[in-house]
């Protein structure tokens, strides 16, 4: 019942992350590597390599050493990417933090990770200084951008010559390089211990996705999230131009694609949904776009097909998780839209029945478990959470529900923790949402479970509609013959102007549940 990749294992280079990246970039020095979309600033691969060497020297002089933690709490920028590779060259670990977090949320992460140096943005300087009052590990705060009260990244680099310093010895399999935070399958965000080997393995596997030297990649995803970060580093590794946007804006995205002749874009379902429904799409030349990778949440077939029809590009689903650094699969040249592709090289997968924990076979849904070189070392300072997620045989229990077909293609249905338990039946919110997206008058939809004394939980629909004339009764009628009775919206329907989603596109079902409970209390 254990599935293995159809491809032979590949050798993972026994290199630190910084050595791997510098080696990959050094022979392309004169080629454009990064375009900072908001400013139009261009950096060659040589600029990135020289920036890493200078930044590493500067950080070393400021006392950053092996085992120390550096934090990035900033918007997307070339400096963000350079600083992380530089910290890795010092043997330090980088914890990535959402710059939109409140001071309390940042404090929770920083008290656990104990960063010594923090890179932030001008708007966040005062917030980080406030956090530093209670997080005594913080010794230095640097701003990526002009700020009056702290030293800036540019001033730190201005006089730096990039002198060589004693490089620490790195054990790629044991030493950490990244510490992003994830809620995992349950609970508050936890530090995910990503080793040098984890990230090098992911980049090595990502190289198997065919790219042309003339390709141009576009990433509007936040770099604090591992999907955005690996997307950016894989572009540097592939030697292709990468247009880095500070944040998602639909009109700006269209303009960037047209201006830079973008061929590959990485997005999340809400972005793709926005593209499909946008009246702006006909005002821009998007013909260069060959493929869009969608990740972070399931994308319905109807939306994917609508995008392909409008733009003419291929839509490929991507599956990963922070705990797997984050690649879990390999995209075949011909992949069904609903599938996230084949099992990645060097990776094993098995599916466990949610109720019994027994392995199940082809086309049977269950929790996806995987084993491979990309699996995290564990949760930082949290052995209990680690043992609850990685079993004694080394299998990572992903918390994702899905199955594989006769051809070994993997299909993701939803998250285990999102399952709605209705009278003992397991109801998958994403399945209902996919049906709702097929209604011509529904622009977006979310489903969440609300408590019910008799049934356990009831599925409630949160609907954004094109036309105010669309009624709850019409939606129920639309769904009646498309899903089994236990999968219907027994919790009712609520029309809304927006659906709460995380920066990476995941529906915030907890927020919806709380809203529904408060409305009924």
Among the listed residues 392, 393, 514, the one whose alpha carbon sits nearest the alpha carbon of residue 451: 514
The token pair at 143 is 């701003």
pLDDT score recorded for residue 244: 96
Last residue in a domain, options 193, 224, 252: 193
Among the listed residues 370, 445, 447, 437, the one whose alpha carbon sits nearest the alpha carbon of residue 402: 370
Residue 117 bridge partners (DSSP) = 70, 140
Cα angle 2, 330, 276 (rounded to 5 degrees) comes to 125
Q: How large is the average pLDDT for residues 321-329?
A: 84
Q: How far apart are CA 11 and CA 373, in angstroms?
A: 11
Between residues 379 and 183, which one has the greater pLDDT?
A: 379
Q: Count how many Cα atoms sit within 13 Å of the Cα of residue 65 in the half-sphere of its side chain.
A: 2
Residues sharing a CB contact under 8 Å with residue 464, sequence separation 6 or more, in sequence order: 442, 443, 444, 445, 495, 496, 497, 498, 499
Q: Residue 480 sits in a domain of what CATH number?
A: 3.30.300.30
Q: How far apart are CA 389 and CA 397, in angstroms?
A: 5
In a domain, 211, yes or no: yes
Between residues 417 and 80, which one has the greater pLDDT?
A: 80
Do 240 and 181 belong together in one domain? no
Q: Count how many Cα atoms sit within 13 Å of the Cα of residue 115 in the half-sphere of its side chain.
A: 29
Is residue 483 over pLDDT 90? no
Do 316 and 231 belong together in one domain? yes
Do 118 and 226 belong together in one domain? no
Do 148 and 212 belong together in one domain? no
pLDDT score recorded for residue 415: 74
- State how far Cα 294 lies from the chain centre: 10
Q: How far apart are CA 389 and CA 391, in angstroms?
A: 6
Q: Residue 49 sits in a domain of what CATH number?
A: 3.40.50.12780
pLDDT score recorded for residue 462: 97
Residues sharing a CB contact under 8 Å with residue 235, sequence separation 6 or more, in sequence order: 33, 217, 219, 241, 242
- The pLDDT tens digits for 270-288 are 788 889 989 999 999 999 9
Work out the number of other CB atoms within 10 angstroms of the CB of residue 243: 23
Q: Strand, helix or coil at 159?
A: coil
Residue 483 DSSP class: S
Do 227 and 325 belong together in one domain? yes
- The pLDDT tens digits for 450-463 are 988 778 789 999 99
Question: What's phi and psi for 482, nearest 5 deg?
Answer: -100, -20
Number of domains observed in the structure of the chain? 3
Q: Strand, helix or coil at 306?
A: helix
In a domain, 444, yes or no: yes
The token pair at 74 is 């900033």
In a domain, 130, yes or no: yes
In a domain, 468, yes or no: yes
Kind of pairing between the strands at 117-120 and 69-73: parallel
Q: How far apart are CA 400 and CA 320, in angstroms?
A: 10
Kind of pairing between the strands at 396-404 and 366-371: antiparallel
Write down the pTM of the prediction. Answer: 0.84
| Residue where the block lists tokens 């010794």 | 139
- The pLDDT tens digits for 293-319 are 988 777 888 889 999 999 999 998 888
In a domain, 362, yes or no: no
Confidence band of 327 (pLDDT split at 50, 70, 90): confident
| Residue where the block lists tokens 């319905």 | 300
Range of the domain at 249: 201-346+371-388+400-411
pLDDT score recorded for residue 205: 86
Q: How far apart are CA 25 and CA 49, in angstroms?
A: 7
The answer to which of 8-17, 120-129, 171-180, 201-210 has the lowest mean pLDDT is 201-210
In a domain, 359, yes or no: no
Which helix (H) or strand (E) segment holds residue 245: the answer is none
Do 180 and 212 belong together in one domain? no
pLDDT score recorded for residue 421: 78
Residues sharing a CB contact under 8 Å with residue 408, sequence separation 6 or more, in sequence order: 3, 6, 342, 343
The token pair at 104 is 């309390």
Do 469 and 332 belong together in one domain? no
Do 33 and 109 belong together in one domain? yes
Q: How large is the average pLDDT for residues 436-444?
A: 95
Is residue 396 over pLDDT 90? yes
Among the listed residues 270, 332, 325, 275, the one whose alpha carbon sits nearest the alpha carbon of residue 295: 270
Do 166 and 272 belong together in one domain? no
Residue 297 DSSP class: S
Question: What's phi and psi for 154, nearest 5 deg?
Answer: -65, -40
| Residue where the block lists tokens 């019994």 | 356
Last residue in a domain, options 166, 193, 220: 193
Long-range interactions of 495-498: CB distance < 8 A, separation 24+? 495/463, 495/464, 495/465, 496/462, 496/463, 496/464, 497/464, 498/464
pLDDT score recorded for residue 298: 73
Long-range interactions of 256-259: CB distance < 8 A, separation 24+? 256/37, 256/218, 257/218, 257/284, 257/286, 257/288, 257/289, 258/284, 258/285, 258/286, 258/288
Q: Strand, helix or coil at 160?
A: coil
pLDDT score recorded for residue 188: 67
pLDDT score recorded for residue 185: 53
Averaged pLDDT of the chain: 91
Do 186 and 244 belong together in one domain? no
Confidence band of 183 (pLDDT split at 50, 70, 90): low
Q: Strand, helix or coil at 460?
A: strand
In a domain, 357, yes or no: no
Is residue 186 over pLDDT 60? no
**Residues constituting the chain:** 521
Last residue in a domain, options 171, 193, 215: 193
In a domain, 314, yes or no: yes
Torsion of CA 445, 446, 449, 450, to 10 degrees: -70
Do 136 and 215 belong together in one domain? no
Do 146 and 266 belong together in one domain? no
């Amino acid at each position: 019942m254990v599935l293995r990749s159809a491809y032979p294992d590949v050798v993972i280079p026994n290199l630190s992350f910084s050595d791997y990246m510098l080696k990959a970039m050094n022979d392309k020095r004169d080629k454009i590597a990064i375009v900072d979309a908001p400013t139009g600033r261009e950096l060659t691969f040589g600029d990135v390599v020289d920036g890493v060497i200078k930044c590493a020297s500067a950080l070393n002089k400021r006392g950053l050493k092996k085992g120390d933690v550096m934090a990035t709490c900033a918007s997307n920028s070339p400096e963000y990417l350079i600083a992380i590779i530089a910290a890795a060259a010092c043997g330090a670990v980088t914890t990535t933090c959402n710059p939109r977090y409140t001071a309390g949320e940042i404090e929770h992460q920083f008290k656990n990770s104990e960063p010594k140096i923090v890179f932030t943005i001008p708007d966040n300087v005062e917030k980080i200084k406030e956090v530093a009052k209670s997080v005594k590990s913080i010794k230095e705060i640097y701003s990526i951008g002009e700020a009056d009260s702290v030293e800036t990244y540019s001033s730190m680099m201005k006089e730096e010559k990039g002198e060589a310093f004693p490089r620490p010895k790195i054990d790629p399999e044991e030493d950490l390089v990244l510490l992003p935070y994830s809620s995992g399958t349950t609970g508050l965000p936890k530090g995910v211990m990503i080793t040098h080997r984890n990230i090098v393995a992911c980049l090595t596997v990502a190289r198997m996705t065919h790219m042309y030297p003339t390709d141009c990649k576009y990433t509007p995803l936040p770099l604090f999230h591992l999907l955005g970060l690996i997307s950016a580093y894989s572009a540097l590794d592939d030697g292709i131009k990468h247009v880095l946007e500070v944040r998602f804006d639909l009109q700006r995205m269209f303009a960037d694609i047209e201006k830079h002749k973008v061929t590959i874009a990485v997005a999340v379902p809400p972005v793709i949904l926005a593209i499909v429904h946008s009246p702006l799409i006909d005002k821009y030349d998007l013909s260069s776009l060959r493929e869009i990778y969608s990740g972070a949440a399931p994308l319905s077939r109807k939306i994917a097909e609508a995008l392909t029809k409008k733009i003419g590009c291929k839509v490929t689903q991507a599956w990963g998780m922070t705990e797997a650094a984050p690649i879990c699969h390999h995209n075949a040249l011909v992949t069904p839209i609903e599938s996230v592709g084949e099992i990645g090289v060097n990776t094993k997968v098995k599916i466990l029945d949610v109720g019994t924990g027994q392995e199940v076979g082809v086309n049977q849904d269950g929790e996806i478990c995987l084993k491979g070189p990309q699996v995290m070392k564990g949760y930082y300072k949290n052995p209990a959470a680690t043992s609850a997620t990685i079993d004694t045989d080394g299998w990572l229990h992903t918390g994702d529900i899905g199955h594989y077909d006769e051809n070994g293609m993997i299909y993701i249905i939803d998250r285990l923790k999102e399952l709605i338990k209705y009278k003992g039946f397991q109801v998958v919110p994403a399945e209902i949402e996919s049906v709702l997206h097929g209604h011509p008058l529904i622009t977006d939809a979310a489903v969440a479970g609300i408590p019910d004394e008799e049934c356990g939980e009831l599925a409630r629909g949160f609907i954004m509609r094109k036309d105010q004339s669309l009624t709850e009764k019409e939606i129920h009628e639309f769904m009646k013959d498309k899903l089994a009775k236990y999968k219907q919206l027994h919790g009712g329907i609520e029309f809304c102007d927006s659906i709460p989603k995380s920066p990476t596109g995941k529906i915030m079902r907890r927020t919806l549940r709380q809203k529904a409970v408060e409305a009924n209390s």
